[in-house]
Structure 1
């Protein structure tokens, strides 16, 4: 049977998920953050900075972070919202689980606190289900309005992928789409390339994106496939050398071995009436590119995943 364990390491409670083929995931209760995802060969698939601070009041740079109730700075709220800097709880009454063999799952919950209401005056419940199975890591997020008035929010799953060399990576599935360029004051442009490649800093919000995106790592001959529902946007970010050196919790060379491709709902905020619920789903798969008949063309890779 799949195994779930709770450890307290370095003062931070964490849950270890494992499944029969040998893959594992490590989840922190602080921030509901996924800090590690390893495949059956014990290869780490997520990036964590070698200078990650890990202070009790600060999220660790890397892994998968939950950005709620906003993704960008607005008003009194901090960058990427406060959910990533809160201690979550194990959900005592999660939604019913569908039957699934050889799957390891944990359910977390975050509820609005009085201190949060001072800066974001809306009562909510944020549930997060994290499921690990062979070759896949699935996150299901639910936001429920517990207030007697409507509210709006933006949301993102901030995914730090581990790559061999950023210059050898291509992202497929976003060609011909419009994007907002955060390096150009959020000006709107249209993607002209057949696939996104990297030779400088990038910080873009791609709009009206498909349900599948491929991150192809030529050197490792590995492809990540990101499937998403309920989150129409995708953020692509790499700080490159100057920005990496300016970030205190990131190593100078870290930008070479990481890429963020996020599932997000940013351009059109989600609005919930009293006691309404929103759900977003993300499934990550990591496969050898040889599974795609040796093809490293983004469109052919995506066509291989139903």
Structure 2
């Protein structure tokens, strides 16, 4: 049984998980959204962006309650957020309506302390895209993959370094695979790009071209490689987390089913093996996941492939 296999694998890897995800019942609820971000900052949870102009939803674990924050200055979606100093950065995001969304020309920042939005550095015109994997490592931010022309075409294998202190962009070696609609994670000196697809508006191909291969960038050797073991359940719109020694990929959407994926799969970087973790209660795509205290949390997103229904539910999985 996949659950018991998962428990054994994770026990040997120094952490274990409870049997199932559990719903988090709270006072109030967040604004429903997808193609958005779910991230923790200084003990509070933030839902940011999404299709349409959606106000920030802010959850306090201490009070177990939601409140509404300030909407962004523009519609912003399809991005992986990162925390930098006192703000949450939205880098390489889309604005506009499907399928001809356009990449933002600047970095957009949300400042939790003042519940305010600020425009930051300009993104070089020849590196603008969205639906990319973004990670914060040290004093730099790294952006992998993405798509230029909405959901139509312009898939890229670009890999960039961005200095949020100076606004400097540097191009690094291209990744082995072009991909969009995915998230990246960093663990033990390596960046992992898992999941994603080559988005298309061709008939019956919008969700079809998923990328099972996992690309890995080694910052020491400054080279890319591809894992011998592909993602067991290929999907896009998934959310990714590094939880040592694992890279965890959850949720997503694909042509294989109408419902959003509930699968949660972990790649053990020490044993070079994949295992299945407990499925989400509600399959979802287009959101995020993080570790807070002794639980993994996810919230919101979309319950089917495409754009409906948008969710307000939050669930968590205990980590020992």
Do both share a fold (TM > 0.5)?
no
- Compare the two structures and name the one with the higher strand fraction: 1
- Compare the two structures and name the one with the higher helix fraction: 1
TM-score when normalising by structure 1: 0.25
TM-score when normalising by structure 2: 0.25
